[in-house]
Structure 1
Amino acid sequence: MSSSRPRRAGTLIAVSATAALAAIVVRDRVSAAGSRAAAGAEPEGAPAARYRDTLPWRLYNGASALLDRWVGWDRLPTPLGLAVLVGVRNVLRQRNLHDTGGLPDLDPAGPDREWLTARTPDGSRNDPDVPSMGMANTRFGRNVPIAATHREPEAAMLTPSPREVSLDLMTRRRFVPATSVNVLATAWIQFMVKDWFSHGQGDPAQRWEVPLADGDPWPERPMTILKTVADPSRPAGGTAPPTYLNTETHWWDGSSIYGTGAPGDEQRRTGRDGKLVIGDDGRLRLPADPARNPATVPGWWLGLNLMTTAFIREHNAICDALKAEYPGWNDDELYRRARLINAALTARIHTVEWTPAIIAHPTTVLALRANWWGLAGEKLHKLVGRISDSEVISGIPGTRTDHYGVPFTLTEEFSIVYRMHPLVPDDYALRAAADGRLLRTATFPELAGPHAQAVTDEVAMADLFYSFGTAYPGAIVLHNFPRFLQEFRRPDGKLMDLAAHDILRTRELGVPRYNEFRRLLHLRPARTFAELAGDPEVAAELHRVYRGDIERVDTITGMFAEKRPRGFAFSDTAFRIFVLMASRRLNSDRFLTRDFTPHVYTPLGMAWVQNTTMVDVLLRHYPELRPALRGVTNAFQPWPDTPAA
């Protein structure tokens, strides 16, 4: 960059950062002395504390935004890039948290002290002042202004046809691997998404009719996609943008393991020593009742089977350790504490292992680890504990709970950026962990639905984990959508093109199209298709499908097309939602902030969460993987091949 503007911005941000960090230190010292009022601290759940709106912070945030736009955080030296990301997150917290208003009338009957140190089955009572915040069947929030989420008229909603976008821009011509991660990373994110959110399976009484070209091979006419179930809590006849309900809890509470609601909770338990049901052979025992069997729900496959099995076994191992430490505890107490510990463990693994693996830029690796440990680092944290009240210095867990002035929810935009189906390979080689020999090959359909359980009966679990650990997933780019997922039949008989479904669902949920989405996230829009794609052939395809109108490009299409920062498996646009929501999911959850304490978790539980890695989980339950995992520090990065015997 020959311009002096970036240099001036760099100088400004250095000065601003010094002032802002000084403000943090001053606040921390006053807080430590018990003078929070003198420091201007706000009560929990209030908007960001006042020190964040002082002149040093305004200068810092403004300089961060300028440097991010002119140079890009990813092109800066790591310390300066990290400083810019702190400012970017500050701006996003101030301007990109929007309440969809009016929680449904689901408030629990009243306070219940037994839940002060345990997660409820339906996600209620996490915030004692607003018991329904984040519980199942409450609304998704927004990361863009509410006024920007009005749905387009139906004709515009279907233009260009989602099926045309699927066939012409998404179809996998050849498998493009993401070589920085392994297929366990694919299984993990689906395991997490199953915990975080769902819009349900669609409304069978309401359907979109998708236009098809004359030569389209789709076997049914017309092509239909179920509409998302309407929000029953909305008053009829309103003119506000549509809202939708999350059928899962919004919290990071392990609902993919434990279920949502009391029936889901109880049906998974043995009723003895707090433990969950698992077969004597350490494999899942799926219920015969189709209504309770996860293999009958769209999306179930071998990857979810593996992750669910491992963390059911982890729960039971935690129960054994707690019972040895606290022999007088009953089944309920053991279960609830083990759930709390196990859920926090998945949050830590996701924060400091999965996410740094999938966005492996040096700056983001440091930033994401700092979300949990702070810039002071893991070693110092484990040696002496927190040295500051600041989340920047000592991490978010253990800080005060903070909703930044907006009731906590997951957001529609968050649900869209996690549509990462290109990660799924079409073909799999199942190999032996002991010597790497090929056991069998399989296609994705042969590992999906009820077939997943059949494969675990045939192939040892350690071999399946090894096969996933040594294989590459697909890159999250155009022309890399799994072939099988473009035409498959759900367990209920509904024929689906998941790529077309993802495109239409994004429009239906009122997520702005790509360029407007970027503007609302304080990023430059793409001026031309060539600028967006960086490849003349892809630019020409985009131009044809979107009829020459760059403003009509769908958010998912644009995110798959854009050039990614070094080490990233997904786009910088999606990363802006991650920057904001990765912190917010920790900041708002009292079990990961003010109640992340030995009193609530037990000393044993705190040590379990802080000291266990995904590699530890695998070795605890599948010790035969030890040779394959030798030297592996992050289980989501490719494992070395086991040498032949």
Structure 2
Amino acid sequence: MRLFPSLQFNPGVFLNSTLPPVREISNVVMDQPYQIVSAEKITDMGNMWGQFLIHNMAFSKPDPNYPMPIPVPKCDAYFDPRCTGNMTMPYFRTGFTKVSCTKTTSTRQSDGFCYEQINTMSSYIDANPVYGTTKDTADLLRSFDKGKMIVDHGPNGDMPPRGISGVTIDNDARRYPTDQLFSVGERRGNENPGLTSIHVVLLREHNRLADKFGRLNPQWDDEAIFQQTRSCIIEQVQKISYEEYLTTILGEFPQYTGYDENTDVSVSTEFTTAAFRFGHSEVGPNIEMVNRDGSFGKPLSIRDAYFNPTALDNGIENVVRGLIYKQEANVDIYIISELRNFLFGKPGQGGMDLGSRNLMRNRDHGMPSYNQMRRYMGLPAVNTWADISSDIEVQERLRFAYHGDIELVDAYVGGLAEDHMYKAAVGQTFYHLILDQFVRTRKGDRFWYELPEIRKVNEQCESTSFSKLIRRNTNDIGPLPKNVFLLASDSNPLEN
């Protein structure tokens, strides 16, 4: 769904744009000069849970029939070092479908029809990264024995199975054969070992609860145990997302007011294409490995972490500690070189630029400009570069990249560049887009965990904090802060 009218994006054809080229903007605006840590003292677990959460809510599948390569500036240091002037990065337009033109947010394209990009995921927060979005996927991952999911038993704890035929798993880095990657409910679950570790924790919790329900209810069959356990995992994901993650990112979140059948929970294009991609700015160059005594071991470079199952050969504990003990990068215009120049491989060997891809997706989806989006939202338009950011360096980068024309600024770039809201990790534009989405997601869900009837169904779920959930599904993890999305402090003490 769209919150606001789109620009003309004419799906199915090559998109001509008069805006500055996306790789040029990435090089000028997003090139990170040095490491800047989170002003809010958010941990790497913050960006990792954000990735897990968006994988629950949205996936816009590229259509291989509609290529739209990203031009590379001549003599680009990474992608055209020989100055050929004819290099490109691969990009395919997002799959789309024809929709009614009666909505106020619909924009007729050049052929006279209206279109929208397709979200292939459930918009509800329903733990589908654990179970899949279809019954077929769930069935392939189930053991059909006492309500449990299939696991591989190993010396470092239960892990997801590998190479299950029929379970779709992405392998963009192609560093290891796909049958060596973990089979989980969401195709992107192997993107990095931190993300996979969250899958592992929830998988283990499922089987732990299934054992419990089987003992307490010997009359229940496999299906009854599985469905009750799945309901508990859904509650746990919803609870962590709203009571810990969103309050960390936004500073606070409104109280629940109940279910409304007229609320549209669909993921908005503005949310998934622009606002919630702020997380790519949070990523640092390494995944830290932290030992039981709190000492930091040899880190794993992000560029070596993509689709690398061997990072978990010794268990998930060192990775999980690393995510919780390390302060993430600040939300700002900058994206690390590992994502801007080495995404899924080296330049010329599969490597891409995530910043350029995000910008190209903004244009592919017809996102209004930054200023136009603010006008649609009822926020004041910016008139000077200082209205966007108080940082002089950010102002100058934006001015240079967009040739001094503030009306050209892409929504994604402008949103990243904003000064943060009070107590929040994002600026005003992204704050309101994220808030809108998660209020609707919750209000339109008739199975939301805070509804009295769902609380009754799930009264034996043992839902808890993410910290305690990790502790009961890992081996000797050691002390963790009460809120694992924030660094340990006097107000967020370590707990054993």
| TM class, shorter-length | 0.7 to 0.9
Question: Match of 1:205, SS?
Answer: strand
Distance in 2 (alpha carbons) for counterparts of 1:422 and 1:287: 31
* Residue from 526, 533, 541 that aligns with 2:389: 533
Unmatched segments (≥5 aa) in structure 1: 1-140, 372-390, 392-398
Which residue of the partner structure matches residue 51 of structure 2?
190
Map residues 278-293 of structure 1 onto 2, 5 A cutoff: 278-281=151-154, 282-288=157-163, 292=167
* Residue from 275, 298, 301 that aligns with 2:148: 275
Question: Match of 2:48, SS?
Answer: helix
* Residue from 262, 265, 277 that aligns with 1:403: 262
Which residue of the partner structure matches residue 329 of structure 1?
220
1:470 maps onto 2:325 in alignment: yes
Is the 8 Å Cα contact of residues 157 and 508 (structure 1) preserved in structure 2? no
Map residues 190-589 of structure 1 onto 2, 5 A cutoff: 190-200=51-61, 202-219=62-79, 221-232=86-97, 239-281=112-154, 282-288=157-163, 292=167, 294=169, 296=171, 300-360=191-251, 364=252, 367-368=253-254, 370-371=255-256, 391=257, 399-404=258-263, 407-415=264-272, 416-419=274-277, 420-433=279-292, 435-449=293-307, 451=308, 453-458=309-314, 460-478=315-333, 480-488=334-342, 490=344, 494-589=350-445
Normalised by the length of structure 2, the TM-score is 0.84
The one-letter amino acid of 1:339's match is R
Mean Cα deviation higher: 334-343 or 203-212: 203-212
Question: Match of 2:447, SS?
Answer: helix
Mean Cα deviation higher: 305-314 or 416-425: 416-425
The one-letter amino acid of 1:501's match is R
* Residue from 448, 456, 465 that aligns with 1:613: 465
The one-letter amino acid of 2:445's match is D
The one-letter amino acid of 1:170's match is M
**Pairwise CA distance, 1:537:** 3.1
1:177 maps onto 2:68 in alignment: no
Is the 8 Å Cα contact of residues 290 and 322 (structure 2) preserved in structure 1? yes
Alignment: residue pair count: 454
Distance change in 2, residues 1:638/1:538 (3 Å): same
Is the 8 Å Cα contact of residues 186 and 303 (structure 1) preserved in structure 2? no
**Pairwise CA distance, 1:269:** 0.8
1:624 maps onto 2:476 in alignment: yes
**Pairwise CA distance, 1:487:** 2.5
The one-letter amino acid of 1:324's match is R
**Pairwise CA distance, 1:484:** 1.4
Question: Match of 2:224, SS?
Answer: helix
Question: Match of 2:371, SS?
Answer: helix
Question: Match of 2:151, SS?
Answer: coil
1:635 maps onto 2:484 in alignment: yes
Distance change in 2, residues 1:515/1:482 (3 Å): same
**Pairwise CA distance, 1:603:** 2.7
Distance in 1 (alpha carbons) for counterparts of 2:289 and 2:366: 41
The one-letter amino acid of 2:280's match is H
Distance in 2 (alpha carbons) for counterparts of 1:230 and 1:602: 38
Distance in 1 (alpha carbons) for counterparts of 2:142 and 2:9: 43
The one-letter amino acid of 2:295's match is R
Normalised by the length of structure 1, the TM-score is 0.66
Distance in 2 (alpha carbons) for counterparts of 1:165 and 1:436: 40
Distance in 2 (alpha carbons) for counterparts of 1:594 and 1:642: 27
**Pairwise CA distance, 1:552:** 0.6
Distance in 2 (alpha carbons) for counterparts of 1:184 and 1:247: 26
Fraction of identical pairs, as percent: 19
Per-residue deviation, residues 181-223 of structure 1 (Å, max 9, x unmatched): 11111111111111111002x2223222333322213436431
The one-letter amino acid of 1:352's match is E
Q: Per residue, is there more helix in 1 or in 2? A: 1
Q: CA RMSD in A?
A: 2.8
Distance in 1 (alpha carbons) for counterparts of 2:149 and 2:128: 13
Distance in 2 (alpha carbons) for counterparts of 1:598 and 1:244: 33
Question: Match of 1:217, SS?
Answer: coil
Per-residue deviation, residues 586-622 of structure 1 (Å, max 9, x unmatched): 11111017965258724313xx34xx11111012112
Distance in 1 (alpha carbons) for counterparts of 2:38 and 2:317: 23
Distance in 1 (alpha carbons) for counterparts of 2:488 and 2:444: 35
Is the 8 Å Cα contact of residues 302 and 447 (structure 1) preserved in structure 2? yes
**Pairwise CA distance, 1:161:** 0.4
**Pairwise CA distance, 1:156:** 5.7
The one-letter amino acid of 2:270's match is E
Unmatched segments (≥5 aa) in structure 2: 81-85, 101-108, 174-187
Distance change in 2, residues 1:471/1:231 (3 Å): same
Which residue of the partner structure matches residue 162 of structure 1?
22
Which residue of the partner structure matches residue 88 of structure 1?
none
Question: Match of 1:431, SS?
Answer: coil
Distance change in 2, residues 1:587/1:191 (3 Å): same
Distance change in 2, residues 1:214/1:493 (3 Å): closer
**Pairwise CA distance, 1:346:** 0.6
**Pairwise CA distance, 1:155:** 6.8
Is the 8 Å Cα contact of residues 150 and 240 (structure 1) preserved in structure 2? no
